[in-house]
Amino acid sequence: MTIRVKRVYDEPSAEDGERILVDRLWPRGLSREKASITAWMREIAPSDDLRKWYSHRVELWDEFRKRYWKELDSMPEPVGRLIDMSEKGNVTLLFSTKELNANNAVALREYIETKYRRRRPGKR
């Protein structure tokens, strides 16, 4: 299973595989053609309330991740789709924020990798 994270503004590459935008809002100033996405899964993005509360304040990262994971627990269908995609090939979760290490795509990847290990122990 290979799940990558990448800014949607960065150039697409062959290694990206399925390019999934996981933001609730469309990235500013980016056309759909230039984004070159496979799917826009806004339903798996953090809720508006959580997104506004976090507002990319890195000092809130641990609490944001905890709250987002709780939201993800109530979304088995879209999470399952991402896990299934990742079992078939590379998946790149796309995000628009400038914060590279503390964003919803990173939290989502960590969540999926945790659930994947629980679902298929001993395999990665």
- Look at residues 82, 94, 90 and name the one whose alpha carbon lies nearest to residue 6: 94
Strand partners, 7: 95
- At 2-15, the pLDDT tens digits run 899 999 999 999 99
Per-residue tokens: 116? 């994947």
Give, for 92, the enclosing helix (H) or strand (E).
Answer: strand 91-95
Its pTM stands at: 0.91
Return the SS3 of 75: coil
Q: Give the strand pairing for 91-95 and 3-7.
A: parallel
- At 35-67, the pLDDT tens digits run 999 999 999 999 999 999 999 999 999 999 999
Cβ contacts of residue 36 below 8 Å, gap of 6+? 12, 19
Q: Where are the domains of the chain?
A: 3-119
